[in-house]
Amino acid sequence: MRLLEGQVALVTGAGGGIGRGIALRFAERGAAAVAVHCRTSVAAAEEVAERVRESGARAVVLRADLRDEDACHRLVRDAAEWGGGRLDALVNNAGVQPVRALAGMGADEWREVVDANLSSVFACTQAAVEVMGEGGSVTHIASVEAHRPAAGHAHYSAAKAAVVMHARSAALEYGPRGIRVNSVSPGLIDREGLAGDWPEGVARWLDKAPLGRLGRPEDVGDACAFLASPLASWITGQDLVVDGGVSARPTW
């Protein structure tokens, strides 16, 4: 299904993992051009870009440190210029997920996570809306931890909860311009080596997930492609949880 026929899209943090799945799904669903952003993983981003081209879309790799507000604005401008002066869809996927106990966490550690996961979303969205003009879609990648925190992730969970609320607030303000803003909250997404790195956590997730598996990057990509498509033309300010049903479990 070519749901995104002709769209020009920018996916941040697209060098690997979830970002790769999103970029590839956009190409497979008919996007004309996908800008693949990375901060340091240039080789991996180039591989993603090549796979995007194999799916029939144009692709370019753009580097930027999104902890810097000016860099966010430059990234969006560069993507739009490369796209022929257009930007139809932005997916704010870039972020970090360090583990650190709240007790003893320094303000610098807190700011690093907030800047990477939340402030970048603010700056990239603000820049993208100016390029889009009238009409377009913005999707933030949040997390199930925006709704249910995990130990050692207080900074991450707080930032992701704020990302969900930013999407709702932006949807309210940009709706009159025809720009839709939503968020996607993934659950545990598989990656190479995850089962070996965190066997206990993977086992717990598989035990609790009604659908009986971990998520795949493409699962998140499908959600993002839907939200950027005409099928979601009357959906804005919503958080789509993609977690295999884990959040349906009672917590008492």
Give the pair of three-digit tokens for residue 54: 């194999």
Residues 34 and 59: beta-carbon distance below 8 Å: yes
Give the pair of three-digit tokens for residue 225: 């492609």
Tens-place pLDDT, residues 5-42: 999 999 999 998 999 999 999 999 999 999 999 999 99
Average pLDDT (166-177) is: 98
Please tell me whether residue 106 adopts helix, strand or coil conformation: coil
Q: Residue 133 pLDDT more than 90?
A: no
Q: How many CB atoms lie within 10 A of CB 85?
A: 9
pLDDT the model gives residue 251: 75
Angle ∠(72,51,90) on CA atoms, nearest 5: 30
Residues 135 and 174: beta-carbon distance below 8 Å: no
Distance CA 17, CA 216 (A): 9
pLDDT the model gives residue 16: 84
Mean of the per-residue pLDDT values for the chain? 95
Q: Which amino acid is located at 157 in the chain?
A: S
pLDDT the model gives residue 54: 97
Percent of all residues in the chain with a pLDDT value above 70, rounded to a whole number: 100
Tens-place pLDDT, residues 190-206: 998 999 989 999 999 99
**46 or 249, greater pLDDT:** 46
Q: Which amino acid is located at 13 in the chain?
A: G
Q: Which amino acid is located at 246 in the chain?
A: V
Average pLDDT (101-115) is: 93
Q: Residue 167 pLDDT more than 90?
A: yes
For the chain, give percent helix, strand, coil, nearest 5. 50, 15, 35
DSSP state of 115: I
Active site residues: 156
Residues 124 and 90: beta-carbon distance below 8 Å: yes
Half-sphere exposure of 80 (CA within 13 A, CB side): 21
Average pLDDT (55-80) is: 97
Residues 217 and 21: beta-carbon distance below 8 Å: yes
